[in-house]
Structure 1
Amino acid sequence: MLEIEGIRKEFPGVVALDDVQFRLRPGTVHALMGENGAGKSTLMKIIAGIYTPDRGTIRLRGEEVTLTSPLDALEKGIAMIHQELNLMAYMTVAENIWIRREPRNALGLIDHRRMSRMTQELFDRLNIRIDPDVEVGELTVAARQMIEIAKAVSYESDVLIMDEPTSALTETEVEHLFAIIRDLRAQGIGIVYITHKMNELFEIADEFSVFRDGKYIGTHPSADVTRDDIIRMMVGRDITDMFPKEIVPIGDEILRVENLTVAGVFHDISFSVRKGEILGLAGLVGSGRSNVAEALFGVVPATSGRILIDGQEVTIASPVDAMKAGMAFLTEDRKETGCFLILDVLENMQMAVLRDAHVKGGFVDQKAVNLRCEEMKAALRVKTPTLYERIENLSGGNQQKVLIARWLLTKPRILILDEPTRGIDVGAKAEIHRLISRLAGEGVAVIMISSELPEVLGMSDRVMVMHEGHATGILDRSEATQVSIMELAAR
C-alpha cells in the first residue's frame, strides 16, 4: 500500500533521516521503533505531508506521489494522529472533528445539530463515551487522545499513522483502542504504529521496523523476535536493567502532607516523604494524582489541609512559594505546561534558575548559566546540535529531557515527577530511572506519578494509590504488586 525508498531529510545541523526505507501492507499494523531522535516522527511527518523530503520516493498504491501538505495527504487517504495533541481547546468536540468539513444547511450555514449527530454516530461506532457538544478544554488528556483517534478514523483513510497513541491512556482505554485498531485492520486499512512500549508491539503489531540515528536498521515479523532483540536493534547495545533502583539510606522526614484538599477535586490526602525516598503515586486516570502534585506546587492551591517541610508548616500559594521551599515539578503535559516551543533549548533549560544566584549587578551571569546547561545537556544525553536550537525541533523525548534538566538545575530537595518517562524510548527511560535513583541517593525526596505500573513497582520505596480523589492505601515496596495496586485503584 505504501512504499518509501531512499528518503533523506536534513534540518540545520542535523541529518534526521539518511537513506531510509519503509513498507506498509494493507490490513496490517506495522510498528515503528527507535530511540528518541531516531527519525520515526520525521518520516511519519513526511508521509503525512508536513515535511518535504530532500530526496527519495514515496509510492502510494504503487504510484509515485508528491505530498505537498497535510491536506494533500488526507485527500490521498493518509491520516495521522500526532504524539502532541492538536485540538482546539475552546471549540467543541464536534467542531474539532469536522473542522473544514462541517455539514451545511440550505442557507450555507453550519448545521450544528447535524454535526453533533454525526459525531455521536462516529463515537457509537467506536464505543467512545464523550459528549460531542462539550468544549475540548474541559476534557482530560486521555479523552482528547480518543477524540484525535476518532477524528483520524472519520476521514476513512487507507493509511492511518498513530504516533504514541496510548501515552495518556489507562489499561482499559488501551484495550479499547486496540479493539478499534483490530476492527480497522480487518477493514483492510494499513496502520503505522509508533510506540516505545514493548508489550504493545507484541500485542497489536504484525511486523515492525527499527530506526537508529536516522538510519533504517531492519524489519521483522513481530512473532519472530524477543523484547531483547528489539532493544538491541534500537540502541545498539544490551540494557540489562530497565529499573536500576538502588537501595539507598532513607533519611529524616522532609515533607509531610496532612488532610490536603482541593474542593471538588480530591479530599483529605495525607502522606509523608523522607530524604532519599521515592514515593510512587498510582491510580487510574481521573483519580486525582496530578491534582495532588499541582496543589503541592501551588499551581492550584489547596483549599484546606497542611503542608510541612522539615516539621515546619509552609504556605504554598504559588509555584514561586514552592520553589523557595525547595520543590521542583515536572508536569504531565510537556507541550501545554512545560515547553516554551518558540524558544531555544538554552532558554527553556535555564528558565527556573535565573534568580539571585545567577544575577550580578542586575545582569544574568550568562556564562555560568550556559556552562551548567551544557553540563546538563551532556549528562542527560539531549540530542540537539546546539543549545540554541528551537525546542520545537527536538523529538518529544528530548524535549522531556530538557524539562527534567530545567528542574535539576534548581537543585531541589523535593522533586515531583508527573509521568517522567512518557513518550521516552527504552534506552532513555533506563537513563532517567538511573538518574532518579542517583538523586534519591543524594538525599532528594522524590514523588513520582506514573501510569505504568512496572515503573511504579520498579522504582518506588512506597506506593500511595488513589481512586476518585481519595487515597485508598499506601503500600511498602515489599507488598506492592500489580494486583494489590489495581485492587486499591479500582475501589
Structure 2
Amino acid sequence: MTDTILEMRGITKTFPGVKALQDVNLDVREAEIHAIVGENGAGKSTLMKVLSGVYPAGSYDGQIIYKGQEQNFKSIRDSEHVGIVIIHQELALVPLLSIAENIFLGNEQAKGGVIDWDETRDGARKLLSMVGLKEDPDTLVTNIGVGKQQLVEIAKALSKEVKLLILDEPTASLSEKDSAALLDLLVEFRRQGITSILISHKLNEISKVADRITVIRDGRTIETMNKEQISEDRIITSMVGRSLDDRYPSRTPQIGEVVFEVKNWSVYHPQHRDRQVIKNIDLNVRKGEVVGIAGLMGSGRTEFAMSLFGKSYGQKISGEVFLHGKKIDTSSVGKAVSHGIAYATEDRKTYGLNLIDHIKNNTTLANLGGVSRFGVIDDLAELDAANDYRKKTNIRSSSVYQVTGNLSGGNQQKVVLSKWLFANPEVLILDEPTRGIDVGAKYEIYTIINQLAAQGKAILVISSEMPELLGITDRLYVMNEGRMVGEMPTAEASQEKIMRAIVRAEGKAS
C-alpha cells in the first residue's frame, strides 16, 4: 500500500464575511501527481496557502499532518524547511534582477558570505535546462515574457530540496509544447519520488498525468477520483454541479465588410535595435467576425498586439492601420482607444486592472468621459455603469465596491472585459482571454465574445490553446517567429494543419 505523505483534515478558513473553506479533507500519497480542480473561487488556492504557511497556523481550523507528524506552519519558510514548496499563480519574481539571481534569491550560492557567481550561473543553467528554458542566466527577468517567467519560478522551486511540490496553474501562461514538456517533467519527478499537487483548469492535462483528482466546489470537498475514474465530463459535472453539454457555445456568424486592417507591420525589439521581432505582417478582421492568431510561445503574437495598441511594445515600428478603409493613427494608447480599438492584455494583474481599487472604478477606467459632466465624474452614473456591466458579464462579487484584487481570476477577467465593453470599441483584441480560468467561467467568456460578434464587433483572439481557437473563431492566422505563415477558415482548420504551417515555416527559415 502506498504511504500517505500529506493529510489535511477538517480545514476551515474564514475571511470577514466569507467562509472560503469549510471542513475540507485532502490526502496525498507519496510519489503521486494529485490534481485539485474547481471553479475560480472554489477555494483551491486558499487551501494551498493554508498548507504552505501563507495563512499561518491559528488563522484556520483543522489539522495538517505531513509525513505522519502534525504541522503548525507559521510561514512559508517553515513549510519549505520540511520540503514543501509552492509556486503561486501570481509570479513572485524581481523584474530588475537576473534569472540566476531570482532562482537563488534567499538561497544564495555563497562561500564565506560572498556570492559565488560562477556557481550561481552554473546552477541556474542546470535548473533552466530541467524546465526547458534556454535563456542566458544573466538575462533580466523584465526582458522575458510571462510564459518564460513561469518557467523561472519552477526552476526556482527546484533549487530547493523539494519533497512535495505544489503548482498553482503552472501551465496557464505556456504554449501547448511547453506545457507538455512541463507535464513530462512532473512525470519524471514522480519517478524520482517527488510528490506533486497540481492545480489546473486544463482538464486534458490533468487527465493525462494525474494519479488522483480531488474536486472542490464552494469551499467544500466534493469527491476524490482514482485514475481509472477520471473523465472530463465527470470532472466538469463535479466542479460546476451540472453538465456542460458543449464546451463552446454555438453561434451563427453574420460576417460583413472588413472593419480593421493592418498592412506591412514591422516592429523591432525595444532593447536590441537590430533585432526585428514582427516582420511585415498583413491582417484583417471583418464586422461580426472572430479571428484567431495561433502560434507557439515566442512567435510574436503578444508583441504584435501590443505594438498595434498605442505602440506599447517595440521601436522602429512601421506599417499602416486602417479602420473602415481609412488610415488611422494608433501611435499612442489614447489615440488607439479614441479610434475604437481595445486591447485586453494577457497579464491582467499587471496591465489590465488596478488591483487595489474596486470594481466600479476599474469598469469605467477606459471611458471616463462616459461618466463625466464638464470634466467631473458623476458618481451615480459611474455606479449605474458598473452595476450594469457587472450584471451583463455575470461578475460574482458582493458588490461593485469589492476590491478587484480579491476576486477570482475568472471574475477579474470579466472586469477587464467590462472595462473595454464600456468604452464601446469597434475592434477588440483579446490576448489569452481565458488564461487561468475554469471551464465554467470560460464558457461565460465565450458567450460574451459571441454576443459582441453578434453586435458587429471585429474581434481578434490570441490563444495558446488550439482547441479554444478551433472552438470559438471563424478564421485563423498562424504566426511563427514574427511572421504570418498561414491563414485558413476555422471550418477547414485542425491542430495538425496549424502545426504543419509552423513546421513548414521553420523548415524554410533554416
Is TM (by shorter chain) over 0.5? yes
- With over 3 angstroms needed to count, the CA separation of the structure-2 counterparts of 1:4 and 1:463, relative to structure 1, is same
Correspondence 1:13 to 2:13: no
Match of 2:108 among 102, 109, 125: 102
Q: Write out per-residue CA displacement over residues 177-207 of structure 1, whole angstroms, 9 at most, x where no aligned residue.
A: 1222112112222211001111111111000
Q: CA deviation at 1:151?
A: 1.1
Q: Alignment RMSD, CA only?
A: 1.5
Q: Which amino acid aligns with 2:20?
A: A
Q: CA deviation at 1:12?
A: 2.6
Normalised TM-score (structure 1) = 0.96
Q: CA deviation at 1:487?
A: 1.3
Q: Write out per-residue CA displacement over residues 63-122 of structure 1, whole angstroms, 9 at most, x where no aligned residue.
A: 11111111111112210111121111111111111112212233x222222211222233
Q: Which residue of 2 aligns with 1:428?
A: 441
Higher relative contact order (CA 8 A, sep 6+): 1
SS of 2:491 mapped into structure 1: coil
Match of 1:297 among 287, 305, 309: 309
SS of 1:218 mapped into structure 2: strand
Q: Which residue of 2 aligns with 1:479?
A: 492
Q: How far apart are the structure 1 equivalents of 2:446 and 2:176? A: 22
Q: How far apart are the structure 2 equivalents of 1:119 and 1:323? A: 42
Q: Which amino acid aligns with 1:325?
A: H
Q: Which amino acid aligns with 1:97?
A: I
Q: CA deviation at 1:42?
A: 0.7
More deviation in 134-143 or 416-425?
A: 134-143
Correspondence 1:338 to 2:352: yes
SS of 2:248 mapped into structure 1: coil
Q: Which residue of 1 aligns with 2:85?
A: 79
Match of 1:443 among 456, 465, 480: 456
Q: How far apart are the structure 1 equivalents of 2:44 and 2:14? A: 14
Q: Which residue of 1 aligns with 2:401?
A: 388
Q: Which residue of 1 aligns with 2:474?
A: 461
Correspondence 1:30 to 2:34: yes
Q: Which amino acid aligns with 1:29?
A: I
Contact 2:176/2:465 (CA < 8 Å) preserved in 1? no
Q: Which residue of 2 aligns with 1:259?
A: 264
Q: Write out per-residue CA displacement over residues 101-146 of structure 1, whole angstroms, 9 at most, x where no aligned residue.
A: 212233x222222211222233345554232222111112222111
- With over 3 angstroms needed to count, the CA separation of the structure-2 counterparts of 1:93 and 1:398, relative to structure 1, is same
Match of 1:378 among 391, 395, 406: 391
- With over 3 angstroms needed to count, the CA separation of the structure-2 counterparts of 1:292 and 1:245, relative to structure 1, is farther
Q: How far apart are the structure 2 equivalents of 1:346 and 1:159? A: 40
Q: CA deviation at 1:346?
A: 2.2
Q: CA deviation at 1:282?
A: 0.8
Correspondence 1:193 to 2:201: no
Q: Which residue of 1 aligns with 2:508?
A: none
Q: Which residue of 1 aligns with 2:426?
A: 413
Q: How far apart are the structure 2 equivalents of 1:225 and 1:157? A: 27
Q: Which residue of 2 aligns with 1:348?
A: 362
Contact 2:207/2:230 (CA < 8 Å) preserved in 1? no
Normalised TM-score (structure 2) = 0.93
Q: Write out per-residue CA displacement over residues 31-64 of structure 1, whole angstroms, 9 at most, x where no aligned residue.
A: 0000000000111111111123421111111211
Q: How far apart are the structure 1 equivalents of 2:197 and 2:68? A: 18
Q: Which residue of 1 aligns with 2:273?
A: none
Moved over 6 A (4+): none
Q: How far apart are the structure 2 equivalents of 1:411 and 1:372? A: 12
Q: CA deviation at 1:309?
A: 0.5
Aligned length: 489
Correspondence 1:234 to 2:248: no
Q: CA deviation at 1:375?
A: 2.3
Q: Which amino acid aligns with 1:304?
A: S
Q: How far apart are the structure 2 equivalents of 1:473 and 1:182? A: 34
Q: How far apart are the structure 2 equivalents of 1:61 and 1:8? A: 21
Correspondence 1:269 to 2:274: no
**Structure 1 regions of 5+ residues with no counterpart?**
none
Q: How far apart are the structure 2 equivalents of 1:257 and 1:339? A: 27
Q: Which residue of 1 aligns with 2:213?
A: 208
More deviation in 437-446 or 115-124?
A: 115-124
SS of 1:114 mapped into structure 2: helix
Q: Which amino acid aligns with 1:149?
A: I
More deviation in 367-376 or 114-123?
A: 114-123
Q: How far apart are the structure 2 equivalents of 1:245 and 1:306? A: 34
Match of 2:374 among 361, 366, 376: 361
Superposition pairs of residues 88-127 of structure 1, within 5 angstroms: 88-106=94-112, 108-127=113-132
Q: CA deviation at 1:327?
A: 1.1
SS of 1:20 mapped into structure 2: strand
Q: CA deviation at 1:222?
A: 2.8
